[in-house]
Structure 1
Amino acid sequence: MTLAIGQPIPDFTAAATGDTTVSLSALKGRQVVVYFYPKASTPGCTTEGGDFRDRKADFEAANTVILGVSRDGIRAQENFKAKQAFNFELISDKDEEVCKLFDVIKLKKLYGKEHLGIERSTFLIDAEGKLAREWRGVKVKGHAQEVLEAAQALHAAG
Structure 2
Amino acid sequence: MAVALDQPITDFQAQATSGQQISLSALQGQQVVIYFYPKDSTPGCTTEGQGFRDRYAEFQAANTQIFGVSRDSLKAHENFKGKQQFPFELISDGDEALCQLFEVIKLKKLYGKEYLGIERSTFLLDQHGVLRQEWRGVKVPGHVDAVLAAAQALQQR
Moved more, 60-69 or 1-10: 1-10
1:16 CA drift (Å): 0.3
- 1:122-142 residue CA offsets vs partner (Å, 9 max, x unmatched): 000000110000000000001
Return the letter of the residue paired with 1:12.
F
Runs of 4+, deviation exceeding 6 Å: none
Paired position in structure 2 for 1:129 = 129
Return the letter of the residue paired with 1:67.
F
Residues 76-155 of structure 1 aligned to structure 2 (within 5 Å) = 76-155=76-155
TM-score, normalised by the number of residues in structure 1: 0.98
Gaps of 5+ in 1: none
Identity of aligned pairs, percent? 68
TM-score, normalised by the number of residues in structure 2: 0.99
Return the letter of the residue paired with 1:7.
Q
Paired position in structure 2 for 1:71 = 71
Return the letter of the residue paired with 1:148.
L
Equivalent-residue separation in structure 1 for 2:32 and 2:2 (angstroms): 19
Equivalent residues, number: 157
1:3 CA drift (Å): 1.4
Equivalent-residue separation in structure 2 for 1:52 and 1:62 (angstroms): 13
Equivalent-residue separation in structure 1 for 2:24 and 2:43 (angstroms): 28
Return the letter of the residue paired with 1:13.
Q
Return the letter of the residue paired with 2:147.
V
Gaps of 5+ in 2: none
Return the letter of the residue paired with 2:77.
Q
Return the letter of the residue paired with 1:74.
L
Partner SS for 1:18: helix
Partner SS for 1:100: helix
RMSD, aligned CA? 0.5
1:2 CA drift (Å): 2.4
